[in-house]
Structure 1
Amino acid sequence: MGTTEIYLIALTIILAVPYAVWRLARTDRFAPLVVVQIIGGILLGPGVLGAAYPAYYAFVFNPQVIAALNGIAWWAVMMFVFVAGLELDLADAWRHRGETALTAGCALVAPLLLGAAAAAVLLAQPGWIGPKGTYPQAVLGVGMACAVTALPILVLLMEKLGLFRQPLGQRLLRYASLDDVAIWGVLALILLDWSRLGRQGLFLAAFAVAAFVMRKAMQRLPQDDRWYVALVWLAVVAFGADWSGLHFMVGAFLAGAVLDARWFDTARLDAMRNFLLLTIMPVFFLSTGLRTSFGVNGAMVFAAAGVLLIASVAGKLLGVHLAGRLLGWQRGEASVIGWMLQTKALIMIIFVNVLLDREVITAQTFTALLLMAVGSTALTTPMVRPRLARLARPTVH
């Protein structure tokens, strides 16, 4: 067969297998389709099915097909991160800055510290730090991965649980939005390359000027033109960030964060996010699974994932409960918020993909973090439903 036919076979597998499992097994109660797609990528990749049937893997996912899939995955994830940046309502967070800063800070710092402590022990062993990474960089990167909350997946789960338009849902968006800003800031710090400091300074200076001009121009453009210009803006900023030694996904987030979501039709923005999740993000999830590796020791990778999962979950719950105690929340709120903020899939996967691209971590570390992200996200819905039901019950005096 030619490359085109094999490529279409790969696309059929990518789109059909996770959907069939999700629909037939009715996993939505504990794992939304996005989680099934990520797990499907791991199972279809070289570490599981590829190891059992190497001929299948070599035929379907040959270098030409993988190169084509990677091109789609890059553009898909750039657009998705751009939309995530666009939807950050920093003005709302500023209006509630005291409560938001305290809660978001506690929810970020506690799992970061616990995750970094676990990473400090794990990364002392050979095989976990990438050839271009340093020990402090890798420890901070793994710790931050444990602290991440995936805003797009949080929105998806809130819609399923009926929280999105509720006051509690808006609070969750504020906390996660502020943490999103911190996540990308820490990523830029981790990737700071002193040999390219001049380029990075030039990029940031040019970006600040260009963002000011773009904001002025956007307000004068017709609605339809804003979408097209925004995509051009996305490509240019992503290129500038990658050229400077940061990463194109850092640029994609910045490109969206400096624009206001109110300049775009809300229905079309929602439709674009759903379109990306339906059509091309599955390619990104599969390409992510293709990068997994159990090369050091399969059991050790799973053990590392378990330790990081405990650090991540315990840290997030500890931080949110501390904030709830300081702010005087009603009984049960901290548990619901703490478990809702456990959603890590997607943004954390993007975060650690960047670390892997820059060779700060190895494929084994990436795999452990990917398993941790899937586990954390899969726990969210089943843990939240009963707690949310108890929270909704009227208090009996």
Structure 2
Amino acid sequence: MNTTEIFLIAMLIILSVPYLVWRLFRTDHFAPLVVVQIIAGILLGPGVLGAAFPEYYQFVFNPAVIQSLSGIAWWAVMLFVWIAGIELDLKAAWQHRRESGITAGLALGMPLLFGCGAALVMLAGSGWIGPKALDWQFVLGVGMACAVTALPILILLMEKMDILRQPLGQRILRYASVDDVAIWGVLALILMDWSRVGKQLAFVLAFIVVGALFRRLMARLNASDRWFVSLIWLALCGFGADWSGLHYMVGAFLAGAIMDADWFDQKQLDSLRHHVLLVIMPVFFLSTGLRTNWGVGGSMVFLAAAGLLVASVAGKLIGVHMAGRILRWQPGEASLIGWLLQTKALIMIIFANILLDKQIITQESFTALLLMAVGSTMLTTPVVKPKLARMAALLGRSS
């Protein structure tokens, strides 16, 4: 077979296997299709399929096919992170800055602290820290991975629970939006390369100047032209960030973060997010799975993932409960918000991919973080739905 035919076989597997599992086994209650696709990516990777059927794995996922899939995955994740940046609701967060600041600060700070503790334990062993990482970069990177809230997946889950456009859903979006800015800011700090600091400074200054001009241009364009120009802007920012030594995904987030969601029709923006998830993000999930590794031993990877999951969930719940006490929330409100905010999935996986690309973590650490993200997201719906049923009165509260 030629490369095109093998590539299409790979695409057939990527698109069909997760969908059939999701549909036939009705996993939506505990594992949305996105989570099933991530798990399928892990199972189709070298640690599972490659170990069980090495010849078949090497035939389908040969270097030429992987290179083609990688290009699609790069653009898919850039689009997804860009949309996440656009959907940040920082104006609303500023209007409710005391409540948003306290809640977002504690919801980020506590799991960050717990995650850093877990990372220090991992440092005591071998095979976890990347070859180009300093200890503080590894600890802070893993800690921040435990603190991440997956804003796009949170939106998806709240849509399915019919709370996204209600006051409670908008409050949770405010908290997640503030945390997202902090997360990407910390990532930029971790990725700071002092040998390329001149380039990074040049990128930041150019981004500020060109970004201001871009905003003026977008305000004057009609709706259809905005879509085309914004995609050009996305590619430019991704290139600039990667050239400077940060990462193209950091550039993609910045490209979206300085854009106003009200420049676009909300239904079209929602539709774009759904179609990116449907059409090209499955390729990213597969390419993520191809990067998993069980080199330190399967049991150790699972043990590390369990420790990271406990640190992530416990830290998030404790932080939100502390915020609830300070802000005098109703009983049970903090638990509901905390469980929604601990959703990890895509943004944490993207975050971990960047750490792996920059060799701050190893493939084994990446695998443990990936398993933690899957476990975190699978817990959300089964825990939250019964709470929502018991606490319907909270939905109308705006603060």
TM-score (norm 2): 0.98
Which whole-Å CA distance do the structure 2 matches of 1:354 and 1:86 have between them? 20
Which whole-Å CA distance do the structure 1 matches of 2:164 and 2:59 have between them? 44
1:281 is matched with which residue? 281
Amino acid at match of 2:349: I
Which whole-Å CA distance do the structure 2 matches of 1:239 and 1:10 have between them? 28
Which whole-Å CA distance do the structure 2 matches of 1:269 and 1:160 have between them? 17
Deviations, residues 317-353 of structure 1 (Å, cap 9, x unaligned): 0000000011000111111100001110000000010
1:322 is matched with which residue? 322
1:339 and 2:346 are equivalent in the alignment: no
1:203 is matched with which residue? 203
Amino acid at match of 1:245: G
Deviations, residues 34-57 of structure 1 (Å, cap 9, x unaligned): 000000000011001110000111
1:104 and 2:104 are equivalent in the alignment: yes
Divergent runs of 4+, >2 A? none
For residue 124 of structure 1, report the CA deviation from its aligned partner: 2.3
1:26 is matched with which residue? 26
For residue 247 of structure 1, report the CA deviation from its aligned partner: 0.2
Deviations, residues 50-90 of structure 1 (Å, cap 9, x unaligned): 10000111000000000000000000000110011011111
Amino acid at match of 2:367: T
Which whole-Å CA distance do the structure 1 matches of 2:178 and 2:375 have between them? 23
Which whole-Å CA distance do the structure 1 matches of 2:351 and 2:59 have between them? 30
Per mean C-alpha deviation after superposition, the further-off stretch among 6-15 and 258-267 is 258-267
Amino acid at match of 2:330: Q
For residue 219 of structure 1, report the CA deviation from its aligned partner: 0.7
Deviations, residues 136-169 of structure 1 (Å, cap 9, x unaligned): 1001000000000000000000011111011100
Amino acid at match of 2:375: G
1:13 is matched with which residue? 13
Amino acid at match of 1:37: Q
Amino acid at match of 1:204: V
2:81 is matched with which residue? 81
Which whole-Å CA distance do the structure 2 matches of 1:191 and 1:125 have between them? 23
Amino acid at match of 1:271: S
Alignment of 1:148-227 (within 5 A): 148-227=148-227
Tell me the C-alpha RMSD between the 2 structures. Answer: 0.8
Which whole-Å CA distance do the structure 1 matches of 2:271 and 2:170 have between them? 20
Amino acid at match of 1:116: C
Which whole-Å CA distance do the structure 2 matches of 1:42 and 1:208 have between them? 39
For residue 123 of structure 1, report the CA deviation from its aligned partner: 1.7
Which whole-Å CA distance do the structure 2 matches of 1:229 and 1:297 have between them? 48
2:310 is matched with which residue? 310
1:119 and 2:119 are equivalent in the alignment: yes
Shift of the 240–390 alpha-carbon distance from structure 1 to 2, 3 Å rule, reads same
Which whole-Å CA distance do the structure 2 matches of 1:124 and 1:187 have between them? 23
SS of 1:321's equivalent in the other structure is helix
Which whole-Å CA distance do the structure 2 matches of 1:226 and 1:131 have between them? 42
For residue 31 of structure 1, report the CA deviation from its aligned partner: 0.6
2:362 is matched with which residue? 362
Which whole-Å CA distance do the structure 2 matches of 1:123 and 1:22 have between them? 37
How many percent identity over aligned positions? 70
2:397 is matched with which residue? none
Deviations, residues 190-229 of structure 1 (Å, cap 9, x unaligned): 0000111111111000000001000000011111110000
Which whole-Å CA distance do the structure 2 matches of 1:166 and 1:91 have between them? 17
1:256 and 2:256 are equivalent in the alignment: yes
2:35 is matched with which residue? 35
Amino acid at match of 1:260: D
Which whole-Å CA distance do the structure 2 matches of 1:31 and 1:178 have between them? 26
Per mean C-alpha deviation after superposition, the further-off stretch among 150-159 and 258-267 is 258-267
Amino acid at match of 1:219: A
For residue 393 of structure 1, report the CA deviation from its aligned partner: 6.2
SS of 1:346's equivalent in the other structure is helix
For residue 265 of structure 1, report the CA deviation from its aligned partner: 1.4
SS of 1:206's equivalent in the other structure is helix
Shift of the 392–57 alpha-carbon distance from structure 1 to 2, 3 Å rule, reads same
1:295 is matched with which residue? 295
Per mean C-alpha deviation after superposition, the further-off stretch among 299-308 and 266-275 is 266-275
SS of 2:345's equivalent in the other structure is coil
2:266 is matched with which residue? 266
